Structure 1
Amino acid sequence: MKVRAQAPNVKNSTNFNAASDSKTAVGTTLENLKSAIRGETGAHNKYMTFAKAAKEQGYDQIARLFTATAAAELIHIGLEYDLVAAMDPDYEKPTVDAPVPGTSDLNLISGANGEIYETSDMYPSFIKKAQEEGNSKAVHVFSRAKLAESVHAERYLAAYNDLDAPDDDKFYLCPICGYIHKGEDFEKCPICFKPKESFTAY
């Protein structure tokens, strides 16, 4: 993802359209935030399970990628939960069971499919509803998550294509928005502009 002159958002970007055959059930913004938390919780648990499987199957770099992405989902959960807690103080975070992992190649495809759904359908649908309701905080949180998810999908597909040709590159996680960079060649997050020095290496 290239760094732009201004941080990308729903107003200055053209890749925020929802899929024409959307599978997302859209409710109020509060309901959508809760739905997003449930989805991100499921993704976190799934990726931690996939990380363990990748390690056992001898794919150390892929295990690190799954672990970094699981941590990114926790960032999204935290941002979304803060908004929900302000509107519904009695809300409790959901628990979601992790799936049984398969082989790492198919786990990567499963991960990519989930991230593509979130970035091309779920989050754009939720952003549109938050705009209609005038909830700028939700638009901001959903937008950053949507942008990060597209990069997660890209990382998974690249790892899938290079499954049998791994390198020693580390993955770097932005602590603010959940963006993940592979390798050392960057200075700041292209989504929120947080400097490289604040990233966590995996």
Structure 2
Amino acid sequence: MTMKIRAEIPTPANSTNFDIVPDSVTEVGSTLDNLKAAVMGETGASAKYAAFAEAARAQGYEQIARQFEATSAAEQIHIGLEAALIQAVEPDYVRPEAPQMEGIQTDLNLISGALGEIYETSDMYPSFIVKAQEEGETKAVQVFTRAKLAESVHAELYLDAYNNIDAEDDRAFYLCPICGYIHKGDDFEKCPICFCPKDKFQVF
């Protein structure tokens, strides 16, 4: 269960999985507005996964706790990329405060995580990418694209953990510091999204 390495870095121009769901619920503004909305959403997601990690560890799911921690850190990478673009336009921009979150049963937390990531990869980020393309905001297109592709892998990993919640193993999670991609296990050489080499990855 891995994202395959392609001959070239995936982009909206060379990929066919950037369509927006027909029943989109994303409110699209200007690219600047969309960057702020993305930061807000990712801030909530990061806080949620940190809380889910605490709940998983308390419930005896050590590997899943590490997975939630890795994904929380991945969302912080997305926040940093998006906030940097906002601050280039609005130097006084202040990132939102992380909300207080609590986890419940770990199986339900995994489903909650998967649903959130599926929304981002199939609705929010594709919608924001289209607007950024219309406005010629190439840096935003790249940032949104990398986040969108990473979120789909996060969702896949959450569903895998859900399906195997009673059959945990000891594999580590490797986080790409450039785009937030996560790989389970050490059987890879580089990031399939941005081609960052394995030796740069953070291990959880």
TM over 0.5: yes
Aligned-partner Cα distance in 1 for 2:127–2:92? 26
- C-alpha deviation, 1:96, in angstroms: 3.6
The residue type paired with residue 194 of structure 1 is C
- How far did residue 121 of structure 1 move? 0.2
Partner of 1:55 in structure 2? 57
Corresponding position: 1:201 with 2:203: yes
**AA of the residue aligned to 1:70:** S
- Farther off after superposition, 89-98 or 40-49: 89-98
Whole-angstrom CA distance in 1 between matches of 2:98 and 2:27: 19
**Residues 1:71 and 2:73 aligned together:** yes
Which secondary structure does the structure 2 equivalent of 1:16 belong to? Answer: coil
Q: Counterparts of 2:61 and 2:159 in 1: how far apart (Å)?
A: 15
1:169-190 Cα shifts (integer Å, max 9, x gaps):
0000000000000011100000
- What residue identity is the alignment partner of 2:184? K
Partner of residue 157, structure 2: 155
Whole-angstrom CA distance in 2 between matches of 1:2 and 1:178: 16
Inter-partner Cα distance in structure 1 for 2:60 and 2:99: 25
Q: Which residue of 1 aligns with 2:44?
A: 42
Q: 1:96-142: per-residue Cα shift (whole Å, max 9, x none)?
A: 41333110000000000000000000000000000000000000000
Aligned counterparts of 2:143 and 2:103: Cα–Cα separation in 1: 30
Selected match of 1:185 from 179, 184, 187: 187
State the distance in 1 between where 2:47 and 2:98 align. 7
Tell me, in whole angstroms, the C-alpha distance in 2 between the residues paired with 1:12 and 1:4.
11
The 5 A counterparts of 1:124-135 are 124-135=126-137
Report the Cα distance in structure 2 between the residues aligned to 1:22 and 1:90, rounded to whole angstroms.
32
Counterpart of 1:94 in structure 2 is 96
- Give the C-alpha shift of residue 95 in structure 1: 1.5
Partner of 1:26: 28
Distance 1:100 1:197 in 2: 33
Alpha-carbon distance in structure 1 between the residues aligned to 2:203 and 2:5:
20
Percent identity between the two aligned chains: 67
How much does 1:88 deviate? 1.1
CA deviation string 1:18-69 (max 9, x = no partner): 1110010000000000000000000000000000000000000000000000
For residues 90-129 of structure 1, what are the structure 2 equivalents within 5 Å? 90-129=92-131
Question: TM-score normalised to the size of structure 1?
Answer: 0.99
The TM-score with structure 2 as length reference comes to: 0.98
Aligned residue type for 1:85 = Q
Distance 1:66 1:28 in 2: 31
CA distance in 2, matches of 1:85, 1:119: 24
Give 3-state SS (helix, strand or coil) of 1:118's partner: helix
Q: Could you tell me how far apart the structure 1 residues matched to 2:97 and 2:90 are? A: 18
Aligned length: 202
* Letter of the 1:183 counterpart: G
Unaligned ranges ≥5, structure 2: none
RMSD: 0.6
* Distance (Å, rounded) in 1 between the aligned partners of 2:61 and 2:73: 19
Secondary structure of the structure 2 residue equivalent to 1:124 = helix
Name segments (4+ residues, structure 1) moved above 3 Å: none
| Range that drifts further, 89-98 or 48-57 | 89-98
